[in-house]
Structure 1
Amino acid sequence: MTTAPSPDSRHDFLVELRGEPIPGTRLIIRVVPDRLILESAGFVQYLADPPDGVPSPESLAMAVLDDLNNELVPRWVEVTVERDAPLPHRVVIEDRQPNWDNPQLMARLRRL
């Protein structure tokens, strides 16, 4: 993953990126950055080389969450992994910095 400085770390804003790291598996990340943002090109590169030995959507979601937390240290992050076969399967994992909260933004996220 490649990162860049946030254009304005004084404000909370949401970034959503989607991709397919493994055929048939969709990855959606939603991040409220702190000091760093994930560059789009870095996300594309990350998708091309997914974490090794990921047998399940749960493992993939945890690996991606760990990578995002290590590289970005976001204020808030949500990782969603979806597969349709052999049956519909969806995993959602969320994490946030201690003491970070933005009730207005979180209320809007629930509607998206």
Structure 2
Amino acid sequence: MRRERLTTRPSPDSRHDFLVELRGEPMAGTRLTVRFVPDALVLEPAGLVAYLGELTDVAEGLEALAMAVLDDLNNELVPRWVEITAERDTPFPHRVVIEDRQPNWDNPALVARLRRL
């Protein structure tokens, strides 16, 4: 059901690699950052907001949250490259970062720049 909230639109130009970054708070005190290089589709920010409201059923920790978001985005968006960061500051700083990419996609210059952001 939550995947249905992820609305997309066609990429304005699928010939070029560009980075999209969206941030939200699925639960109080939990921050989520989604960074991706689109292929044919771009994620609608409003759809991500609606989707975040549905993530309350993922309560097994930040690792499970990050994996659930990655699976959902890979299923609905099929980005060339995607990185999910889930963070909390209490009861202690905890951060999970997970990355995935399409098998034949490679853009070393872009990925190197992403590491510095």
**Shared topology, TM-score over 0.5?**
yes
Instruction: Provide structure 2 residue ranges, at least 5 long, that are not aligned to the other structure.
Output: 1-5
Instruction: Provide runs of 4+ in structure 1 moved above 2 Å.
Output: none
- Cα distance in 2 for partners of 1:83, 1:27 equals 9
1:82 matched residue in structure 2: 87
The reply to whether residue 2 of structure 1 matches residue 7 of structure 2 is yes
The code of the aligned residue for 1:27 comes to L
Instruction: Provide structure 1 residue ranges, at least 5 long, that are not aligned to the other structure.
Output: none
Given that 2:11 and 2:41 are in contact with CA atoms closer than 8 Å, whether structure 1 keeps it comes out as yes
The reply to whether residue 99 of structure 1 matches residue 99 of structure 2 is no
Residue 87 of structure 1: CA displacement?
A: 0.7
Given that 1:24 and 1:84 are in contact with CA atoms closer than 8 Å, whether structure 2 keeps it comes out as yes
TM-score (norm 2): 0.93
Given that 2:26 and 2:56 are in contact with CA atoms closer than 8 Å, whether structure 1 keeps it comes out as no
- Cα distance in 2 for partners of 1:77, 1:51 equals 22
Match for 1:27 among 23, 28, 32?
Answer: 32
TM-score (norm 1): 0.97
Q: How large is the Cα RMSD of the aligned pairs?
A: 0.9
- Cα distance in 1 for partners of 2:16, 2:77 equals 16
Match for 2:73 among 68, 90, 96?
Answer: 68
The code of the aligned residue for 2:27 comes to I
Identity of aligned residues (%): 75
- Cα distance in 2 for partners of 1:68, 1:43 equals 10
Deviations 1:23-66 (A, max 9, x none): 00000010000000100110111112215142200000000000
